[in-house]
Amino acid sequence: MPTLLTDFQRRRERAEEHDLALVQGCLVLPGGHLPLVREVSDPILLGVHPARDADEPASRADPDVGHQVRVNRHRVPPYVPRDVHTRVVESLAAGGFVLLIGESTAGKSRLAYEAMRTALPDHVLIAPLHRPALPAAVARASRLPRCVLWLDGMERFLGPDGLTRSSISRLTTGDGHHRVVVGTLRSAEMTRYTDTGTADSAELSEASETLEQAVQLRLARLFTSNELRRARTRAWDTRIADALNCAGNYGLAEYLAAGPELLGDWLDAWDVANHPRAAALVTAAVDCRRAGLTRPLPRSLLESLHEAYLHERGGSRLRPETPEEAWSWATRQRRATTALLVPAGGPGVTDGPVDVFDYLVDAGQKRATPETQVPERVFSAALPLADANEAVRLASTAHEYGLYAIGAQAYGRALQEYRDHLGALHPKTLTSQSSLAVMLRQLGRLSEAEQCARTAVEAMTDVFGADHPETLTAGNYHAACLFDLGRLEEAEAGHRTVLATRTLVLGPEHPHTLSSRNDLALVLCEMGRLQEAEAQHRVALDTRTRLLGPEHPDTLSSRSSFAGLLRRLGRFVEAEQEHASVLEARRRTLGDEHPKTLTSRANRASLLRRLGSPAEAEHEHAAVLEVRRRTLGDEHPRTLTSRNNLALVFQDLGRLEAAEREHRVILRARVRVLGPDHPKTKVSRRNLARVLRELEREDDSGDV
């Protein structure tokens, strides 16, 4: 009787699912029903990479399975259990949120699929195919007593309007059910959400905290000795036998998915008269993904972007093929696995959007250098196509690159969408507003930034509460704006409040707490309270060095700030050495023209002047000024700082007329940009007065 009742309940539940599943973009059986886990016998349907053809014929398809989920065994080799397989099965059986993390083609999706079939064969499988299907999928899952929410490639489902802490809690907490969320995430994407030095914490903290709810299991690309031993028992499959021969260089899943060969095809295509136009199309697609666009990519977008890549590599000298030939080559399936660019509408679709093989994206991210960062033109072209979530990802990457103008534009786009669709007080609206304030501050639009941050803090205090991490993040941004505006007492009070609360709520060694401590030290240093500043700097620097290492971006910020303190203390040699070390690290990791690199270069140049090397200081300051003028504009506060630094060198070199002209221009600009009472404006008045005294002229600096 219990079995009959269970079958009846199952049929009723699946009947209820029929219409919903059809329209909401989930994997379904032919009749429109959500399948049970055991009914999906083709792992490719759930994101497992197909493998190269086997020599043996394909197994007969299961006649009881509909065409949407019909087996395709010849495209996947026998499963080789990984060492972590039992832990994954146990974690799934326990319920909750299970996340597998690893590089592309490490075998994450296959492991999750096989473990799920072992642990949860009779659970209803809800596998949304794209982000718009997620809300309905979560809502349906929350009404089922036994189900799996399958999220392969979780970067597609994270962030604003995606999976959140609350939706995880809604699915997994409580009694009387067994619901499981299982996801996979590439290592590079995991770093994006967890490394505080690479992205804006306000927008990514929700996604990061969502991932923290998971049982996180990592999967290495290369097989262990035990895994290789198990693979040898399956070497009757010629694909596995071939993969074992290359196991010293490649992971088995990596080799079976033909990842290295497809990567080689892409790189070789750049050769003269090979397929350079196709290579440019693939490069454009990879960079769109690296920038933050997660949707299938319109062909028109890649066509508009690829010509610049082609030109940079040689243009007509490469003897590129026709566009039709390029698309045909790039979308052709290789080694019976996949294509470089995969038609999103399925094989044979020749005019729709495409996806790019994620192994190529991983390769691009792992090989990235400052010289190969995503060009600004990609962000500009991608942003009009982005939804709010993608706009946030684009803004975060632009911030990391120091592309603050496009970052502000992208956050502004997200903010407007959230206001229009969710309301002015929705948490996602407020978080975007706080992040926009960061970009405005970096652009030198200080009054706008302060107002934007202040409004966000006030609203977040009402919506989240004063002690919420998002409120504290916005409060820290607001205090930083006050510091830039020269309102030092207010900035100190703001940073002290945030520091005390973060210490209590997050702990003394949390990255955000250390950021507050470093920011407070900067204010104290500017106020001339050097002993207090040194105490705060030492705690932040020592802790960051111990936890993160000497060259983590957060540690480099602390080292730069501490070097500034050493300069204030008159320890010029130590300060110059530390600035030089930070400059070398930033040049290597960020590139010569990143704003942080330019700051380090300017700081070191100022020390060279103090140490009696004015000619070298002049050269360095002039170089920084040229880049800042070009990238930030003539009246950005940092550009004016560079002009001031150069004018001081002119003074040291006895070029007093040139120094006078510069100081007058700087003073007028600072009055306009910062106001007549800003500390830096007052410094400019003193600088001009000093030059006039040396020229034995009447001091008219107060009239400028």
Say whether pLDDT at 455 is over 80. Answer: yes
Distance between CA 531 and CA 492 in Å, rounded? 15
pLDDT at 3: 43
Instruction: Report CA-CA distances (Å) from 450 to 410, 444, 492, 500, 671.
Output: 19, 11, 15, 22, 18
Q: What share of the chain is helix, strand, coil (3-state, %, to 5)?
A: 65, 5, 30
> Per residue in 67-116, pLDDT tens?
333 334 467 889 999 999 999 999 999 999 999 999 888 899 999 999 99
pLDDT at 71: 38
Q: Within 10 A of 388 (CB to CB), how many other CB atoms are there? A: 22
Burial 133-153 (b: 16+ CB within 10 A, else e): bbebbbebbbebebbbbbbbb
pLDDT at 219: 93
Distance between CA 699 and CA 395 in Å, rounded? 47
Q: Of 395, 400, 365, 372, which is closest to residue 383 (Cα–Cα)?
A: 395
Residue 395 phi, psi dihedral angles, 5° rounding: -65, -40
Residue 510 phi, psi dihedral angles, 5° rounding: -65, 145
pLDDT at 163: 83
Distance between CA 379 and CA 445 in Å, rounded? 21
Share of the chain above pLDDT 90, in %: 65
Instruction: Report CA-CA distances (Å) from 314 to 14, 270, 276, 495.
Output: 58, 10, 10, 52
pLDDT at 521: 97
What are the DSSP calls for 464-530, one per residue?
Answer: T-TTSHHHHHHHHHHHHHHHHTT-HHHHHHHHHHHHHHHHHHT-TTSHHHHHHHHHHHHHHHHTT-H
Say whether pLDDT at 16 is over 60. Answer: no
Say whether pLDDT at 620 is over 90. Answer: yes
Q: What's the residue count for the chain?
A: 704
Distance between CA 314 and CA 272 in Å, rounded? 9
Indicate the range of 324-328, 331-335, 479-483, 563-567 predicted with least confidence: 331-335
Q: Of 59, 101, 99, 63, which is closest to residue 76 (Cα–Cα)?
A: 59
Domain 612-704 - what CATH class?
mainly alpha
> Per residue in 503-547, pLDDT tens?
999 999 999 999 999 999 999 999 999 999 999 999 999 999 999
Q: Write down the domain spans for the chain.
A: 2-239, 258-290+305-368, 612-704
Q: Are 498 and 475 contacting, i.e. CB atoms less than 8 angstroms apart?
A: yes
> Per residue in 118-174, pLDDT tens?
999 999 999 998 888 888 899 899 999 999 999 998 888 886 567 888 888 889 888
Q: Are 635 and 671 contacting, i.e. CB atoms less than 8 angstroms apart?
A: no
Query: What is the band of 5 on the pLDDT scale with cuts at 50, 70, 90?
Result: very low
Mean per-residue pLDDT for 442-457?
94
Distance between CA 115 and CA 92 in Å, rounded? 8
Q: With the CA atoms of 401, 407, 410 and 412 taken in that order, what torsion angle do they form, in degrees rounded to the nearest 10? A: 160
Mean per-residue pLDDT for 626-641?
93
pLDDT at 704: 57
Query: What is the band of 500 on the pLDDT scale with cuts at 50, 70, 90?
Result: very high
Q: What is the 3-state secondary structure (H, E, C) of 237-251?
A: CHHHHHHHHCCCCCC
Tokens 């991932």 belong to 211
Just give the CATH number of 2-239: 3.40.50
pLDDT at 64: 32
pLDDT at 270: 94
Distance between CA 559 and CA 646 in Å, rounded? 24
Mean per-residue pLDDT for 478-495?
96
Say whether pLDDT at 682 is over 60. Answer: yes
Q: Are 80 and 222 contacting, i.e. CB atoms less than 8 angstroms apart?
A: no
Pick the more confident residue, 219 or 65: 219
Query: What is the band of 701 on the pLDDT scale with cuts at 50, 70, 90?
Result: low
pLDDT at 336: 60
pLDDT at 76: 83
Q: Are 483 and 526 contacting, i.e. CB atoms less than 8 angstroms apart?
A: yes
Task: Quote the longest CA-to-CA distance of the chain.
Answer: 107
Say whether pLDDT at 61 is over 80. Answer: no
Pick the more confident residue, 346 or 543: 543
The alpha carbon of 369 is separated from its chain's Cα centroid by a whole number of angstroms, namely 15
Say how many CA atoms lie within 13 Å of 446 toward its Cβ. Answer: 20
Residue 150 phi, psi dihedral angles, 5° rounding: -100, 120
Residue 384 CB burial class (10 angstroms; 0-12, 13-18, ≥19): exposed
Query: What is the band of 247 on the pLDDT scale with cuts at 50, 70, 90?
Result: confident
Q: What single DSSP character describes residue 335?
A: T
Average pLDDT score, the chain: 87
Q: What single DSSP character describes residue 355?
A: E
> Per residue in 373-386, pLDDT tens?
899 999 999 999 99
Query: What is the band of 55 on the pLDDT scale with cuts at 50, 70, 90?
Result: very low
> Per residue in 382-415, pLDDT tens?
999 998 888 998 999 999 899 999 999 999 999 9
Say whether pLDDT at 63 is over 80. Answer: no
